[in-house]
Amino acid sequence: MKNSRRYKAENKATGEVQAKKALGQHFLTDESVAARIADTLSGSTTNVLEIGPGMGVLTKYLIPKPLNLKVVEIDGESVEYLHSHYPSLEVVEGDFLQLPLESLFASEPMAIIGNFPYNISSQILFKVFENRHLVPEVAGMFQKEVAERVASGPGNKDYGILSVLLSAFYDIEYCFTVPPHVFNPPPKVNSGVITMRRNAVTALECDEKLFVKVVKAGFNQRRKTLRNALRVLQIDTSVLPEELLSKRAEQLGVEEFVGITKCLESEICK
Ligand code: SAH
């Protein structure tokens, strides 16, 4: 029997949620991994939002902790499962990407945790970046490639837009790797668990909107030197030192991007 058909038949028999590919559903079956993920939370933020609890394998290890826990789940079948197995759990039924985060804990900060839906990993991380004032901590599992990208530094082949934007405001740690066979159904890739904790930076020393544009422009043509990659911004880049113009985005750290943004700002203000 094909794998997907076997899972369907098994799930029907046990009353478990049937995995839906379109929702990035890969349920964790190894509870020791769930417990380890739950333990990566520092506990210093009491409000916690879990994204995509599915059948609650990770939730189960969060419930006993002294936390103010809410979960957001898009799949109606999973929501029903959670209501019947965890009656006192606060479940928000909906799409995390559409959720106004201020509405969850009366505008108080929250930690975010999850074995995240891999099909929307980047969107989750961009939303965290945009709401960084409300999200002091993130802990959870992504596909390994994304986890590595987020945690990597300049010069690394995985280093990219999210690495720079997030590391400007978060200390990021790659914790451990999880193989496909501990999920049902197993994903095609390895997974990686990371933690992100807000650093002390409250604001960058430059126009943050322009900073984001510079980082995106730099990496959108990552093989090109900054001289060429930044052309799309239509700003005169001749104010930048030659030494920087001849480098590629993947060679630069947050501070260098801040420096570049500052120089370009003065050019715009002329
Ligand atoms: N945490 C569970 C399930 C992981 S699969 C476990 O470890 O077993 C990813 C989960 O995210 C699924 O339950 C899926 O329905 C949910 N999900 C997918 N897209 C979502 C979205 N936009 N908002 C909230 N939940 C989402």
Which atom number of ligand 1 is nearest to the Cα of residue 96? Answer: 23
- Tell which one of 26, 60, 73, 101 to mutate to probe ligand 1, the residue whose CB is within 8 A of the most ligand atoms: 73
Per-residue pLDDT tens over the stretch 205-229: 999 999 999 999 999 998 999 999 9
- Tell which one of 51, 91, 112, 191 to mutate to probe ligand 1, the residue whose CB is within 8 A of the most ligand atoms: 51
In sequence order, what DSSP letters do the residues of 164-221 get, joined into one string?
HHHHHHEEEEEEEEE-GGGEESPPSS-EEEEEEEE-S-SS-SS-HHHHHHHHHHHHHT
Dist. CA 213 → ligand 1 center (Å):
30
Per-residue pLDDT tens over the stretch 127-186: 999 999 999 999 999 999 999 999 999 988 889 999 999 999 999 999 999 999 999 999
Q: What angle do CA 93, 96, 101 make, to 5 degrees?
A: 100
Domains assigned to the chain: 2-198 (3.40.50.150), 208-268 (1.10.8.100)
- Tell which one of 115, 141, 184 to mutate to probe ligand 1, the residue whose CB is within 8 A of the most ligand atoms: 115
Dist. CA 24 → ligand 1 center (Å):
7
Q: Does the pLDDT at position 270 exceed 90? A: no
Q: Provide the token pair at 95.
A: 């799409």
Higher pLDDT: 125 or 238? It is 125
Whether residue 203 contacts residue 225, with contact meaning beta carbons closer than 8 Å, is answered with no
- Residue bearing the CA closest to ligand 1, atom 10: 52
Which atom number of ligand 1 is nearest to the Cα of residue 34? Answer: 7
Whether residue 66 contacts residue 44, with contact meaning beta carbons closer than 8 Å, is answered with no
Q: Does the pLDDT at position 1 exceed 50? A: no
- Residue bearing the CA closest to ligand 1, atom 16: 52
Q: How many CA atoms lie within 13 A of 223 on its CB side?
A: 0
Dist. CA 53 → ligand 1 center (Å):
6
Give this prediction's pTM. Answer: 0.93
Per-residue pLDDT tens over the stretch 106-123: 999 999 999 999 999 999
Ligand 1 pocket, Cβ-based, cut-off 6 angstroms: 23-28, 51-54, 57-58, 72-75, 78, 95-97, 114-115, 117, 120
Which atom number of ligand 1 is nearest to the Cα of residue 99? Answer: 23
Per-residue pLDDT tens over the stretch 2-49: 454 545 545 555 679 999 999 999 999 999 999 999 999 999 999 999
Average pLDDT over residues 244-257: 96
